[in-house]
Structure 1
Amino acid sequence: MTANPDKQFDPDNDQRGPGVRVPPPLMVAGSILLGMGLNLIIPLTLSSVVYWPGVSVMAAAVLLALVCALQFLRAKTHIEPWQPTSRIIITGVYRFSRNPIYLAMFMFQIGLGLWLANGWILLCVSLTLRLLSHFVIRKEEAYLLAKFGAEYQAYMQQVRRWF
């Protein structure tokens, strides 16, 4: 017998997590590959002046992602959005942004576009934003609200999604 998807969520018996089906890094990679492919068809080349700023933005993105990963390790909860979570993280970078890992992914894509002087990768950031917002963040927020209720609602009211 299959589980009823309309069944009320039971936060005490959470085995499924937020129901994210495609790992967010794959969505970002797909958007980057689309930008690279479009650049092969219709080049949208930027000035080489953006090379070093791109490297800097990518380095900041990697650093931000590592800081977030450490916070998940310390909290002893899953970083993967398709796994159940045992607690919400509201300290460190999560005091400023509810989605710093996704922010790091956007930053990395922007930095890569600059580093490669590829305008299409930069334009595809809006696609990445829409994909993550629709297929990941909405599901995560609904899941966290169902699981943590008023605690997560208060966090949402205090902390913005981005910066």
Structure 2
Amino acid sequence: MSGIVKGEIVIATATDYGTGVRADYRGRTVHEWVREGEELEVTATGHKLFLNVRRAGGSGPVFRWRREHVKQVRQVGVAPEGAILPDDPRLMWLWEDASRLADRFGFCKEFDRLAEALGAPGREREFRIPMIDEDGIRITATVTARSRRLATQKIRDRITSSTPLAIGGADR
């Protein structure tokens, strides 16, 4: 288990109390009740027998949990070896249908957050991407894409192309 790193999500393999890293406002030790199977986010790994953790999602206080009471799991959004990647063209129909359902049922924000976390193509939407060049010129580009990463890549590709950029707006 020495391969556990800060920020990793692990699963509790025992039901027990964890000891709070910080005392409460009265100086008392705080205990956190953890059930087997709960996801914990590792916040520090420096101790030989314990990890500093908190509940996955960043909620609640940081507490000490025994290393022997966790197991490492595949991290969310990391495809297992040999799996079809989320942005594979063969899955595009699934993401398009999920996007349409998100629009239909009002789950757009949730869908966008999940797609971003999974590295999956999200809904087509506009992103405002701020840029600055080496001369200190600041520009904000509005780009339609399925993720912020793809929007940024579109801008980089466009700026490095040989075709000059047209300046639009009131200055024409």
Whether TM exceeds 0.5 here: the answer is no
Greater relative CO (CA pairs within 8 A, separation 6+): 1
TM-score of Structure 1 vs Structure 2, range by shorter chain: under 0.3
TM-score with structure 1 setting the length: 0.23
Larger helix share, 1 or 2: 1
Larger strand share, 1 or 2: 2
